[in-house]
Structure 1
């Protein structure tokens, strides 16, 4: 079942960020764009490549007013240990949420039943706490931060320009569409 258009559910989680343990709740997310980037587990194989890709592009997310939250069912302690031991994960400056109880993972519907692990799920939440984008991939399919950035730019554009939509492969600055009866059958 899709959760697009639904509101972020309440949560409180311990996290690791910038050498410190912090507490994050849904209230901390409201008021800005956010990415919740779920992955199965720390100390794995595809996950560090994805998280490093996000880390390499974090400054761009920040310039767009987007905060990034990576989430696994590992603890914030595990996140710190991984951050301290892996060159790829050591690059991360965004918040790494620990979710050992699975509250956040279940809120987004990406808990693997009976496994206690998250699917590879990406969710974009607008400043009002409404989920605007979601993508879930299989275990072996890594995600791409540049494609995520493109999708966020499109979501931010349509949020700022009601009545317009972004066509396939839309890039910032390109022409959008204004759906109307006049366009039916002409695209």
Structure 2
């Protein structure tokens, strides 16, 4: 069953962000675009490369009105220790949610059963709390923040321009399509 088009489920968690511990809930997410960026564990190998890549795109995402929440089943204390010891993780200015009770991972269906770790998954939630984009990769395959930014721009465009859709490889400013009977068989 697809999670795309379903609503964000309730959660409460503590995050590490910019040197502080803060409480975050589903209510804090509503009203803006949000990325939930799940990864298996702190102090690992592919994860810091992905989180650093996302940190490098964070200002652009903020400029688009998008907040980022990275999530692992580690605690917020573990996130702080990782940020203090890793130059890559120390660059992060977005929220690092602790999900040690597995609520958020289970809400998104991304928890590996019997393992206690989240799979490598990205979920984009619109301002109404509806999941619009999902990407899940195997543990050994890292994600690309530039492609995530492109997809978010397309999702935002599609939401803001009813009747228009974004074709493959669509970039901001490029032509879109207006689906109609006249296009059937002509693309």
TM-score range, shorter-chain basis? Answer: over 0.9
Following superposition, the deviation at residue 2 of structure 1 comes to: 1.2
Tell me what 1:92 maps to.
Answer: 92
Match of 2:181 in 1: 181
| Residue 13 of structure 1: aligned partner | 13
Q: Which residue of 1 aligns with 2:131?
A: 131
Secondary structure in structure 2 of the residue aligned to 1:57: helix
- Runs (4+) of structure 1 moved beyond 3 Å? none
- Asked if residue 150 in structure 1 is aligned to residue 135 in structure 2, the reply is no
Q: Please give the alpha-carbon distance, in whole angstroms, between the structure 1 residues aligned to 2:76 and 2:147.
A: 28
Q: Which secondary structure does the structure 2 equivalent of 1:23 belong to?
A: strand
- The equivalent of 2:166 in structure 1 is 166
Instruction: List per-residue Cα deviations over 1:86-137 (Å, max 9, x = no partner).
Output: 0000000000000001000000000000000000000000000000000000
Q: TM-score, normalised by structure 2?
A: 0.99
Taking structure 1 as the reference length, what is the TM-score of the superposition? 0.99
User: 1:23 aligns to what?
Assistant: 23
Q: Distance in 2 between matches of 1:37 and 1:25?
A: 15
Gapped runs of 5+ residues in structure 1? none
Report deviation, 1:34: 0.3
Q: Distance in 2 between matches of 1:80 and 1:118?
A: 19
* 1:73, distance to aligned residue in structure 2 (A): 0.2
Residue 165 (structure 1) shift: 0.4
1:142-178 alpha-carbon deviations (Å, 9 max, x no partner): 0000000000000000000011100000000000001
Query: 1:112 matched to which residue of 2?
Result: 112
